[in-house]
């Protein structure tokens, strides 16, 4: 009887999650329904009604599912609300640890039975301590969910902050880049050169690559979600801003709406000028897109689909075009277009605030990383022995 009641509750949660089909990865719906509690599902639905960004909600749901799975594995019960400070400290200890100490002490870090459970259920794929950024993100989401439920939580406690700081230092895992190499202008030219055919897919990929780069290095989710209704024709602009009589270039604006760091009501716009405009207009005309998704799936027979590309498909396009150009696809990802835009802007002497207006970066610190890297490569400090 108890088992059938639990199954009925799980089925009910699955139906509840169906209402979030446009946001959550519902290919994992049944797995989520088996992990999340009724209160968890209610919280996610509330956040969706409050207008939280789709990507943020997906990340929250994924991290909440991981936290629930970890809690079941390590304590035998669902997450308590509010969570005690000891549980948050245990989470840090299980995920950030010293690999050298682990060699001498098998009990250091995540217990083997917890690791085996998470790996068997498909929640754990990494080997060794987690990336500090992942642990910090999950703790931040845990804290956010506490606040939405009306609890303070232990996440501002000095002991937890100190433990996290020391654990990050002990884990000795440097922060990795989302794309090992940046897609700079030189790399972009190689990728676009491969889109020379008359096939529909060539026109799409050329427009996608140029639009993603020139619009400020848009995130793959933003490119996948672009719709024709977000594109507006603007008056032509001179190729030389200092000479109004110079050759005029076509210009479009893109209404970004809600982004990872912005809100839908901010009406953020970025411009496309010159060749990217021509490539985008050529794609729209060739695909006969009159409304809806801008970049769409194309099947193996070259038939255009109604459905938009997924963010993962955008990433695969970048990698496929890298392989075609003779570049290592493992060294590049869609995020390389974003880092490449700022890297190229730095190399060309574009003021960082101007580049950030186009890329829509909110963090000066994040944007400055690319500028600092570029200046270091071109500067004299590292050439004292040359």
pLDDT at residue 88 in the model: 93
What percent of the chain clears pLDDT 90, i.e. is strictly above it? 41
Separation CA 317–CA 249 (nearest Å): 28
Could you tell me if 364 and 348 are in contact, meaning their C-beta atoms sit under 8 angstroms apart?
no
pLDDT band (50, 70, 90) for residue 6: low
pLDDT at residue 140 in the model: 92
Q: CB neighbours (10 Å) of residue 217? A: 28
Evaluate if residue 19 carries a pLDDT over 50.
Answer: no
Average pLDDT score over residue span 247-267: 72
Cα of 253 vs its chain's centroid, Å? 23
Average pLDDT score over residue span 118-144: 88
Could you tell me if 123 and 69 are in contact, meaning their C-beta atoms sit under 8 angstroms apart?
yes
Separation CA 370–CA 348 (nearest Å): 13
For 196-235, how does the pLDDT look when each residue is reduced to its tens digit (9 = 90+)?
A: 988 999 999 999 999 999 999 999 989 999 999 999 999 9
Evaluate if residue 105 carries a pLDDT over 70.
Answer: yes
Evaluate if residue 329 carries a pLDDT over 80.
Answer: yes
Evaluate if residue 173 carries a pLDDT over 90.
Answer: no
Separation CA 154–CA 131 (nearest Å): 21
Lowest mean pLDDT among 264-273, 302-311, 348-357: 264-273
pLDDT band (50, 70, 90) for residue 384: low
Evaluate if residue 265 carries a pLDDT over 60.
Answer: no
pLDDT at residue 300 in the model: 87
Residue with token string 């794609």? 283
From the list 41, 21, 42, the residue with the least C-alpha distance to 32 is: 41
From the list 216, 335, 210, the residue with the least C-alpha distance to 281 is: 210
Evaluate if residue 33 carries a pLDDT over 80.
Answer: no
pLDDT at residue 235 in the model: 94
Q: Which two tokens stand for residue 236?
A: 């032509």
What percent of the chain clears pLDDT 70, i.e. is strictly above it? 78
> How does the average pLDDT of the chain come out, rounded?
82
Residue with token string 């939405």? 148
pLDDT at residue 23 in the model: 44
- Residue-range domain boundaries for the chain: 2-171, 185-378
Cα of 334 vs its chain's centroid, Å? 10
Average pLDDT score over residue span 32-59: 69
Evaluate if residue 385 carries a pLDDT over 70.
Answer: no
pLDDT at residue 206 in the model: 97
pLDDT at residue 18 in the model: 46
Separation CA 235–CA 204 (nearest Å): 24
Q: Which two tokens stand for residue 329?
A: 């696809």
Can you state the angle between helices 335-347 and 352-359, rounded to 10 degrees?
160
Evaluate if residue 345 carries a pLDDT over 70.
Answer: yes
pLDDT band (50, 70, 90) for residue 277: very high
From the list 140, 128, 173, the residue with the least C-alpha distance to 67 is: 140
From the list 225, 233, 221, the residue with the least C-alpha distance to 293 is: 225
Q: Which CATH superfamily is domain 185-378 in?
A: Intergrase catalytic core (1.10.443.10)
pLDDT at residue 367 in the model: 76
The distance in angstroms from the start CA to the end CA of the chain is: 79
Element (H, E) at 311: helix 311-324
Lowest mean pLDDT among 70-84, 105-119, 238-252, 372-386: 372-386
For 298-325, how does the pLDDT look when each residue is reduced to its tens digit (9 = 90+)?
A: 988 889 998 899 888 999 999 999 999 9
Lowest mean pLDDT among 52-56, 243-247, 259-263, 327-331: 259-263
pLDDT at residue 78 in the model: 87
Evaluate if residue 13 carries a pLDDT over 50.
Answer: no
pLDDT at residue 238 in the model: 92
Could you tell me if 83 and 43 are in contact, meaning their C-beta atoms sit under 8 angstroms apart?
no
pLDDT band (50, 70, 90) for residue 25: very low
Separation CA 93–CA 87 (nearest Å): 10
Tell me the C-alpha to C-alpha distance, in Å, between residue 312 and each of 105, 308, 370. 40, 11, 24
Which residues have a Cβ under 8 Å from the Cβ of 104 and sit 6 or more positions away? Answer: none
């Amino acid at each position: 009887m108890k088992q059938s009641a639990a199954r009925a509750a799980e089925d009910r949660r699955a139906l509840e999650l169906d209402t979030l089909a446009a946001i959550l990865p519902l290919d994992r719906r049944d797995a989520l329904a088996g992990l999340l509690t009724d209160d968890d599902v209610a919280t996610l639905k509330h956040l969706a009604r409050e207008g939280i960004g789709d990507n943020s909600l997906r990340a929250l749901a994924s991290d909440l599912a991981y936290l629930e799975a970890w809690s079941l594995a390590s304590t035998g019960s669902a997450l308590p609300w509010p969570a005690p400070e000891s549980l948050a400290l245990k989470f840090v200890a299980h995920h950030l640890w010293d690999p050298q100490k682990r060699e001498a002490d098998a009990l250091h870090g995540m217990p083997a039975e917890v690791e085996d459970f998470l790996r068997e259920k498909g929640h754990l794929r990494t080997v060794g301590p987690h990336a500090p950024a992942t642990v910090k993100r999950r703790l931040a989401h845990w804290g956010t969910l506490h606040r939405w439920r009306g609890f303070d939580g232990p996440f501002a406690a000095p002991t937890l902050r100190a433990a996290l700081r020391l654990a990050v230092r002990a884990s000795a895992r440097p922060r990795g880049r989302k794309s090992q190499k940046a897609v700079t202008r030189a790399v972009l030219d190689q990728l676009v050169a491969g889109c020379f055919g008359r096939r529909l897919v060539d026109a799409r990929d050329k427009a996608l690559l140029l639009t993603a780069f020139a619009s400020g290095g848009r995130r793959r989710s933003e490119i996948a979600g672009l719709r024709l209704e977000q594109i507006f024709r603007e008056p032509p602009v001179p190729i030389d801003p200092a000479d109004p009589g110079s050759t005029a270039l076509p210009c479009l604006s893109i209404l970004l709406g809600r982004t990872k760091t912005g809100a839908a009501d901010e009406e953020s716009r970025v411009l496309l000028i010159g060749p990217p405009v021509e490539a985008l207009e050529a794609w729209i005309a060739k695909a006969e897109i009159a409304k809806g998704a801008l970049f769409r799936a194309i099947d193996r027979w070259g038939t255009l689909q109604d459905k938009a590309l997924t963010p993962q498909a955008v990433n695969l396009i970048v990698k496929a075009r890298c392989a075609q150009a003779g570049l290592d696809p493992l060294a590049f990802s869609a995020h390389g277009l974003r880092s490449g835009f700022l890297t190229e802007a730095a190399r060309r002497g574009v003021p960082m605030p101007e580049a950030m207006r186009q890329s829509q970066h909110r963090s000066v610190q994040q944007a400055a990383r690319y500028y600092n890297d570029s200046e270091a490569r071109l500067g004299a400090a590292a050439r004292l022995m040359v």
